[in-house]
Every structure is written in C-alpha cells, then in structure tokens.
Amino acid sequence: MTRILLPLVATLLLVAGCGFEMPPKPNVMFLLTDDQRPDTISALGNPRIVTPNLDELATKGFVLSNAYNLGSNVPAVCSPSRNMILSGRAYFRWEGRFAPPEPANLADSMRNFGYETYHHGKKGNTAEEIHKRFEHSIYLDPKSRFEGRPGQDIVNAAIDFLSNRSNERPFFLYLAFASPHDPRLAEERYMDMYPAESMPLPADYLPVHPFDNGEMLIRDELLEDWPRTEDAIRKHLREYYAVITALDEEIGRLVTYLKENGIYENTYIIFSSDQGLAIGSHGLMGKQNLYEHSAKSPLIIAGPDIQPRRSDALVYLLDIYPTILSLVGAPPETGLDGESLAPVLYHQAERARKSLFLSYKDVQRAIRDERYKLIVYPKNGTKQLFDLEADPHELNNLAENPDYARRVEAMMEAILQWQSQLGDTDPLVGAEPEDPKFTPPTRAEAEKRRGH
C-alpha cells in the first residue's frame, strides 16, 4: 500500500513548495500470448524448451505459479479470457461476445491516468469493443501467421511506435500475440531444435479421455485422430515448442530495444497467456477443459521495484488489470471482479484468495483451493477430485473414495457460493444425467466433421 500512496505524497509536497520533483511514471508493457501452457518456459521447470528471454524475465521478476483463466461460455476460450483480462470482470457479467467498456476497462483507466495507450494483436476472438478505447489500435494481418516468424510483425510495429513517439507521456503497450495457437509454423531453424522422436510426452498423456466431458468433438479436438498416438503428440509438441522459441526470440528483440534506449529500467513488463492447452494431456488436444494444463497460464511480473520471487497464491488473469493500476499508482476502479495482486507482489500478503472457481459453458464447473481441485460435469454427473499436492498431473481421481466424501460435499457447496457471487445460474446437476461413455469417432467420421 505504501507504494500506491507515493504519487499522492509527491504531489502534496510539490504543491506545498518543498521543491520535491515527482519521478516519471513507469511505463507498462503487457505481453499476452495465445494458448501457451504454464509449463513451456525453461526457467519454470521445462528443461526441453528453449526460452532464454522469458527465462531472464522469470529470473528477474515475480512468478505467479497459480494463475488461472476463470473460464469460458464459448468454445473459443481465448475470447472471454481476453475480454475478462481487459475488463477485470467475469464473463457472467455481460451478454453477447464482447465485454462492454463500461463501467471500466484497462485502456480507459490507463489513458485517464496520463498514459499513451497502444494495442496490437489478432482480431478474431478478442475484446474488440475495448480495443476501440486505445489511442492506437492495430490488428495483425492474418497472413503473417503463415510466414514462420510468429510475433515479428507485432514487435516490428512496437519498436517503430516507440522510436517515433513523443516522450511527454509514459506508454502502456498491450501486445496480444496470436501464437502459439495453431497454425503452428516456424522457420526450419526453430523446428530443427526439436526432433520429434526426442520430444518428451506430457506426464498426463493419455490416448483417449476416459469419459465424455461435454465437448469431445469440438474443432480443437479434431486436430488429431483417436487414439492420440505417442508419435502424433510428439509431432504436435515439436511444432508447439518451435513456435514458442521463435516468439521468445522476438520478445527478446523488443526487450533489447528497451534496454538500449534507456527505457527498460522504468518499465513494468507483464507476461502471460490467455489460457493453456492440452496437446495430448488427458487424451485431449484443446483448451475446452478445466485441467491444470489448460486452465492455467504462465504469469510473470517484472519491473523497477519488483523483487525476484515465486508465489503459489491463487490468482485470476482478470486480476492483472487492477494490479497494473496499483503498480503505476492509478486510482482503483470499482465494480471489478479482479483484485490487485500488489499485496502479494510487495510481500504484504502470502495469498490473494482461498479458492478459485472455474467454468466451461454449461458442461463443466470446478473449484480449486490451496490443495484440492474438484471438477463437476453437470450433464452426466461425473466428478473428479484431485489432491494437487500429491498428484499435480491430476491422474488419481479421489471423488468416489469414501474417505473424501465430506470434502467433496464441502467443495460442492463452495461452488454454489461462487456461482451466487458471480451470477452463474447454470445447474450443477442435470435433470436427466447423460451417459458419460465416450466412443471416439473413426478416422472417416472425424474427417467428415473436419470438413464441416
């Protein structure tokens, strides 16, 4: 809280004629990738992937290891995620595809506090109504996604913007990359770093998901046939890692520009992704699920007064908005579901929330506390309880174990409380439970669906 009061104190001293000169406001650069799993940064525990620039950011910054996308009401999970990030509100708060700019949005908040605001990202499945509130808003040419240099166009444009702008105001850059979402195309030099035969499978790899989760035949799941063979998953991971490494190089080029031009030391850099992705985990390919690999994202915050540290505090991506306001000393906005993480960042609190609520359409609900996660599938009555401390890859379902009956009951009640708080009216139990059995389509059936 002390840091948040500094701009006010400085202003009062200046007005009082004490000769105190306010330091310049810090710049903010928010880097958001698309579909990046939380385990795809070398410094955060993945020795196979090459990410030297994100490694440096993680080493110098504050790493939040339990950052989650609250969920989605549509198959394109990135759309509500990005709308929630920029509005600070849960997707239950609005009708339709886009979050309305009112009562508040990150672009307006930063501009009203004296920042020059800049957005560059993909157009589809984004927060287009809030993008209109940026002073500079650019959309990525879709053709650039097929050129093998993910992130290059956005970084080129950002450097050009920074090189030609006036320095009278601090800047807020929101760079919303389109990678590593498919199509996953990277130049051969990146692909050569990851021979398919040497790619390790996910620890939670399965050929087929054990039951129907309510969204088994969505577009993302049709990116690979059933069963998901080890060779097929290794090829997908090869492309995925290559694109992330190529994107990491572009991020490094941008950070180098900040350093060489005296901007870096007074700039907060926030790195995250809209959600994760399965790619073979639990027999799934997409992000239309509430497992850790898909609901979580990497989240790193680095900047002038951020001490390197790692925290297991439970946080939402929609907390990023109020956190940025705290970092720059801007007044907080009312009516947000997001909460500032400043107390955690500045070692004033060890945790942000006791639990997190997660959701996907009307077919999945979950709650995660500091140790356990309960996932509920209302359409067929299936429940999964995982002890994340003992079973971080969610492979041992404890829901039917009588020793955990009271815990399941208590967590079900907690889900209801979260639903009431956020305005989620979907039932946790279907009127007529459906058969949870999942029979994968044949290759011919899958091809027909892909054609549609």
Say if residue 390 is exposed, middle or buried (CB neighbours under 10 Å; 0-12, 13-18, 19+): exposed
Q: Which pLDDT belongs to residue 22?
A: 65
Could you report the per-residue pLDDT of 133-169, keeping only the tens digit for each? 999 999 999 888 888 899 999 999 999 999 999 999 9
Find, among 377, 213, 371, the residue nearest to 287 by Cα: 213
One-letter amino acid at 232 equals A
Among residues 370, 367, 362, the alpha carbon closest in space to that of 385 is found at: 367
Lookup: tokens for 17: 């004629």
Asked if residues 111 and 173 have their Cβ atoms less than 8 Å apart, the reply is no
pLDDT-based confidence at residue 7 (cuts at 50, 70, 90): very low
Q: What is the pLDDT of residue 142?
A: 86
Residue 351 pLDDT > 60: yes
Lowest average pLDDT, out of 54-63, 77-86, 432-441, goes to 432-441
Locate all alpha helices (DSSP H) within 229-288, ordered by sequence: 230-260
Q: What is the DSSP letter of 125?
A: T
The answer for residues whose C-beta is within 8 angstroms of residue 177's C-beta and 6 or more apart is: 31, 32, 33, 34, 121, 122, 150, 151, 154, 247
Least confidently predicted of 5-9, 70-74, 202-206: 5-9
Confidence of residue 14 (pLDDT cuts 50, 70, 90): very low
Q: What is the pLDDT of residue 73?
A: 96
Task: Identify the residue with better confidence: 298 or 13.
Answer: 298
User: What average pLDDT does the segment 102-110 reach?
Assistant: 97
Residue 16: its pLDDT value, please? Answer: 41
Q: Mind listing the pLDDT tens digit for each residue in 400-430?
A: 999 999 999 999 999 999 999 999 999 999 8
Mean pLDDT in residue range 274-290: 98
The predicted pLDDT at position 430 comes to 83
Select from 407, 296, 305 the least CA-distant residue to 2.
305
As a whole number, mean pLDDT of residues 252-274 equals 98
The domains of the chain, with CATH numbers, are 27-354 (3.40.720.10), 359-451 (3.30.1120.10)
Answer whether 270's CB lies under 8 Å from 320's CB: yes
Question: Residue 12's pLDDT is what?
Answer: 40
DSSP SS3 for 318: helix
CA 13, 17, 18 angle in degrees (round to 5)? 60
pLDDT in tens, 172-222: 999 999 999 999 999 999 999 999 999 999 999 999 999 999 999 999 999
